[in-house]
Amino acid sequence: MKTASLGVSALVLLAAVLAVMSLPAPHGVGASVIQEAEAFPHDRHEGLFPLCTGCHQGVETGEAADVLPDPASCSGCHDGAELDAVEWVPPSPGGASLLRYDHPAHARSVAEAGQVAECGTCHGGDPGRRMDVAPLEAGRCLECHEAPAGSEPHFGGPACGTCHVTAAASGLPGVALAALPVPAGHERAGFVAVGHGADAGGGLETCATCHVQQRCTSCHVTGAGDAIARMPEAPAGVRLPVMAAHYPVPASHAGGAFAEEHGRGLASSEAVRTCGTCHTQDDCASCHVDPGVAALLPARAETEAPGAALVRRLPPTHRSPFFMAGHATLASADAGSCATCHTEASCVACHDAPGPAAFHPQNFASRHSSASFGATAECSNCHDAAVFCRACHVEAGLTATGRLGSGYHDAEPVWLLRHGQAARQELESCASCHRQKECLQCHSQTGAFRVSPHRPGFDARRAWESNPVVCTACHLRSPFGEGG
């Protein structure tokens, strides 16, 4: 059976109407019967109704109320005396339908084309029997509205909108929409991954014949331009079938280096438009510590489509059996790449734990000061001195407490008088615990001692002309009396 025969439509209505009439009762005069729609014997009433429009004049005029005869007209013969009385309830015209059909308009177009089409042309069975009414199928339509030679039958004919309304406007329940036949073109390789988007771009009205907007949004997260927005949406209350999302892997994703290179040079708008077709923000967060551009994508909880639901997996560089032994080289060369997926806690879990996996030997913390002195740059590969070191030193009380309480430097006699040399050699080390305001307590115009931090032979004029902002950290005004 063809597509058109799946819905109750104006095109098939007349066949059903002509069949819904009464039969003489087979069990004696006076019986009252209700006949089934397909039981009406048109051929036995042939002598009574020379013209179809005698009962169905509304077919020609377009008046829906006159498409079916008044049930009271049957009582002229079926009076309960000569013939059994019948009780006939006509079906309601119209209803859910995928077809776009109007009898008067069709008759006019046939006449304008110089052709002749009578009721029996579409609704007749045996051509030799005038009142032999047969159920109407879509194949009858295609006898005139034939598809071009070599094309797929039915689906290769005129534009779908010629005969069909959109699925959203049809009123068909979801189960009927799910049962519509699938064109052979939808089964071709690559149709879901690439083909259906190109087809929709070239004729969205064709897609809308069988699909509603919810069918698109069940897979597409975002990024399809305005095409989906232009798809008609199923009315509220229509119970749609379950639409399982399917995400085929595009050919561009199949390369061995795709995982490492997929985000390089990708503009924000392109990421939302392209990646957002299949991916939610959650997909990116499965690997990326900082989602970056992915933050522009909706979260899975904010969209109807589930997205591809990615699960973190090792990149090719990590799959070597010797990766753990040699990963330090990769981390040193491109720490930023590691930071895409890993936080400092990922490193600390091994490198700061006891046992053979630890980067430092056991009890290293108790004697790390000598190893770290002069090697701040090496330590900072793993540790943030301003946070990691300070957290421990403050807890242990090994931190500066002002000019008189030297804290960490208590073991160094008269450290306060000798700290200048150490500061000049390793200022970064000092900055792990100290802030500039502590230095300014002594080394500034407003400090208690106004001790100059400058080395012998310091060219103050040159420094001022180079960057006076640095000078004003200690000097409230120009040390040369310029500019107030």
Per-residue pLDDT reduced to its tens digit, 161-183: 878 889 888 888 888 888 888 88
Ranking 85-94, 231-240, 400-409 by mean pLDDT, the lowest is 400-409
In this structure, how many other beta carbons lie within 10 angstroms of the beta carbon of residue 217? 19
In this predicted structure, the answer to whether residue 259 has a pLDDT above a threshold of 80 is no
Average pLDDT, integer, range 104-115: 86
**Rounded to 5°, angle at Cα 78 from 75 and 84:** 140
In this structure, how many other beta carbons lie within 10 angstroms of the beta carbon of residue 125? 15
Q: What is the pLDDT of residue 4?
A: 34
Q: What is the mean pLDDT of the chain?
A: 75
Average pLDDT, integer, range 375-381: 66
Burial of 200: CB neighbours in 10 Å, binned 0-12, 13-18, 19+: buried
d(C-alpha 290, C-alpha 315), whole Å: 17
Name which of 235, 243, 238, 184 is nearest 218 in CA terms. 243
Q: What is the CA radius of gyration of the chain?
A: 43
Ranking 7-11, 62-66, 264-268, 427-431 by mean pLDDT, the lowest is 7-11
Name which of 31, 5, 28, 44 is nearest 18 in CA terms. 44
**Rounded to 5°, angle at Cα 15 from 9 and 16:** 75
In this structure, how many other beta carbons lie within 10 angstroms of the beta carbon of residue 463? 14
Distance of CA 162 to the CA centre of its chain: 32
In this predicted structure, the answer to whether residue 28 has a pLDDT above a threshold of 50 is no
Residue with tokens 């002069």, as numbered in its chain:
374
DSSP state of 75: G
DSSP state of 167: H
Name which of 455, 408, 415 is nearest 432 in CA terms. 408
Q: What is the pLDDT of residue 31?
A: 32
Q: What is the pLDDT of residue 354?
A: 61
Are residues 174 and 210 in contact, defined by beta-carbon separation less than 8 angstroms?
no
d(C-alpha 49, C-alpha 53), whole Å: 9
Structure tokens at 3: 């597509």
d(C-alpha 384, C-alpha 381), whole Å: 8
Structure tokens at 397: 């009380």
More confident residue, 309 or 14: 309
Are residues 160 and 205 in contact, defined by beta-carbon separation less than 8 angstroms?
yes
Are residues 98 and 172 in contact, defined by beta-carbon separation less than 8 angstroms?
yes
Q: What percent of the chain has pLDDT over 70?
A: 78
Q: Is the pTM of this model over 0.75?
A: no
